[in-house]
Structure 1
Amino acid sequence: MAQATERPSGRDETEDERADRMWSELIQEVRVTQMGVQILFGFLLTVVFTPKYDDLGDTEQTIYIVTVILGAAATGALIGPVSLHRLVSGRRIKPRAVQWASRLTFVGLLLLLATMTASLLLILRVAMDDGPVPWLVTGVVAWYLVCWFVLPAWARRRYTSRD
């Protein structure tokens, strides 16, 4: 039987048990983000086929194209952990697979942030006067940054033991 290693978290688990637990947690997180990015991406794909698309100016069409590309990239990064797991399953490299899947998920979150920002920019430019649009987009992006990165970083720093 493998010797359990001490972890700062206080859990009594082997490296494999820890990788299994972390994999399960990661997949639950990815499920939430995958659904959101896939719905957003699916909606974006339909826009080009609407009559309104032809009425968009060059700037709005460029924003749309960039947004679709960002959405496609975010979708790829957030589905990547599933493919990674399937291709390396049974190879006894789960701890490394968890690290790579975690990195893909983080990149996917950054791409999702960019996709949502560009989508919001496009929608608000079409829906209202340009004056308040940059301020509104900046405010929402700041909120995303606080919720997705600042608060977790603060909690990590505040509550992680320094042993």
Structure 2
Amino acid sequence: MAEPERRTGRDESEEERADRMWGELLQEVRVTQMGVQILFGFLLTVVFTNKYDSLADTDQTIYIVTVVLGAAATGALIGPVSLHRLVAGRRIKPQAVSWASRMTFVGLILLLGTMTGSLLLILRVATHDDFVPWLVAGIVVWYLVCWFVLPLWARRRSEE
């Protein structure tokens, strides 16, 4: 006997729900893609400046790690578009939405690392002060609250 379709409080089938969720996911990805691509583009230019050669080894290492994180974030956040293009018409949209959602989440984690590295490098070069790691840690906590804690809190409250 077939299981009845799961309802979500909306009058939509699983396919309609997947279509809606896909549209919402693409809107979210557009916002993050733009930001990560601009940040990544700026990061790529740093190595070609005169200042780069005068950076301490630690700062050059932070830069390299940050560029790699930015490249990985860009890949993860562009991935859903490629996924959609390659599986379009294969009748697996609910699964594709799930995979794309996971890629986007990984992309957000990588973007967090990219932004953290960028901020750390910029503040280390700009100030040379001992408070920089504390300031960066505070900003990372702020990102975590805005990007993960509050959304998860809202999600949990809606499930009660």
TM-score by length of 2: 0.96
Aligned to 2:126: 127
Q: Which runs of 5+ in 1 are unaligned?
A: none
Query: How much has 1:5 moved relative to structure 2?
Result: 3.3
- CA separation in 1, counterparts of 2:104 and 2:134? 29
Aligned to 2:70: 71
Aligned to 1:47: 46
Within 5 Å, which residues of 2 pair with 1:1-163? 5-7=5-7, 9-160=8-159, 162=160
2:79 match: secondary structure: helix
Query: How much has 1:63 moved relative to structure 2?
Result: 0.4
Q: Which runs of 5+ in 2 are unaligned?
A: none
Give the partner amino acid of 1:5: E
What does the per-residue CA deviation read over 1:45-88, in whole Å, with 9 as the maximum and x for residues that have no partner?
00000000011010000000000000000000000000000000
- CA separation in 1, counterparts of 2:13 and 2:158? 23
Give the partner amino acid of 2:134: W
Aligned length: 157
- CA separation in 2, counterparts of 1:42 and 1:129? 25
Identity of paired residues, percent? 80
Give the partner amino acid of 1:129: H
- CA separation in 2, counterparts of 1:59 and 1:48? 14
CA contact (8 A) 1:5 1:12 kept: no
